[in-house]
Structure 1
């Protein structure tokens, strides 16, 4: 592939390389360039104005080897993932806003999140580590993670995840599945083991009191998108329960902790309407400790 150099005229105007040529000139982008070439997308990306969210080599190296191998063996799947990183037209960082969604070339949307307190910008949870690399036909934003197209909304993903089947059944019992189909939500989803840790007396009270069950489940939902890049130590997140009770976020040696003893075991499960984090203990608002006879252990 020929890589254009920047040619500057005497009037101080420059003819820059295309987006693909700029990527090809960067040794940290060699994996992406090789995959774009393999997928047959070079001419398409050179033929219009695009914004490319470009994972660097380290981002591809962080993928499970089986995932990378599978993409390499399936050109259509590879093209779909790569197109998920491309938006028609030029989208500079100045045009981005928190929760902004953009339609990609594969037809699905990606979500911008801007976390001012952490000086972090993410796209579908992948942190942007370099902004606004301007090419002749578009803009490149460099990512630290590969974005995988989500396979549904929060309810869809919970239904497909065997580790949270108890949560799914309780959500259905409480009748709040539709609420979890709203936009820009974060769900801290207790695993089956998390529910199994609850005393049987607590489980009985929850399953026999729909209002209480609803309140506890809604305490696990935050009404905006909080990927891990946006979390910070001693942060307080309001939930959607009727009292707008708050979750306390802490960082400790085990990772991200919520309240007293619940840890995030799997972070940043992307969905079409927000994000899911799996947690290892059920969260209970302090106001219900006496009602449920739970000790603060």
Structure 2
């Protein structure tokens, strides 16, 4: 490529406000930056990249809770994260309102949980669904994770709570460490009759 073409390409990219693809993080390249636009629900809706999550919030009547409780933290999977779910899993959730509500509430913590609390830490925190979420900020490269999903935009402080954008849906059990189940009792010995 001639130096003039290279310079023109650089000017064009700079004028569009974009960075070259090679400089972008692959997980964040498909996600636009979330800008606060009111409360948690309005911010999610107006962003345009959380339509599946917003539909789940609306279908389970959780919008009021997310609009009024200012102490919540929501880990918000993008539409691309939902598209990566196993085939049929989203349809199963959409058909079962109670399961969808538990699923959405698994993405919520009933406390402000800034990224500085995650950095360098690893452990369980209770979710709004009554189970736990594994918070993992122990990565030496600085990646922050929750239930194995990477936080791709942290600390979006909305009018009604804190929002972290994640690259995968949070599935209880992925990376979570629950107490071991009680061992099953050993079967009673049987005696064979000749």
Q: TM-score, normalised by structure 1?
A: 0.45
CA distances 1:216-255 after superposition (whole Å, capped 9, x unpaired): xxxxxxxxxxxxxxxxxxxxxxxxxxxxxxxxxxxxxxxx
Counterpart mapping for 1:60-75 below 5 A: 60-75=82-97
Aligned pair partner of 1:47 in 65, 68, 72: 68
Aligned pair partner of 1:119 in 142, 147, 161: 142
Aligned pair partner of 2:115 in 90, 93, 113: 93
- Corresponding position: 1:106 with 2:125: no
Aligned pair partner of 2:157 in 134, 139, 146: 134
Pairs aligned (count)? 143
Q: Partners of 1:116 and 1:89 in 2: how far apart?
A: 23
Greater relative contact order, per chain length (Cα 8 Å cut-off, separation 6+): 2
Q: CA deviation at 1:81?
A: 0.7
Aligned CA distance change for structure 1 residues 55 and 123 (closer, same or farther; 3 Å): same
Q: Partners of 1:119 and 1:270 in 2: how far apart?
A: 18
CA distances 1:110-146 after superposition (whole Å, capped 9, x unpaired): 1111144333110011111110001112110011110
Q: Partners of 1:131 and 1:121 in 2: how far apart?
A: 9
Q: TM-score, normalised by structure 2?
A: 0.68
Q: Partners of 1:76 and 1:94 in 2: how far apart?
A: 33
3-state secondary structure, aligned to 1:70: helix
3-state secondary structure, aligned to 2:170: coil
How much is the aligned-residue C-alpha RMSD, in angstroms? 2.0
| Structure (1/2) with the larger strand percentage | 1
Q: CA deviation at 1:39?
A: 1.4
Which runs of 5 or more residues in structure 2 are unaligned? 1-34, 180-194
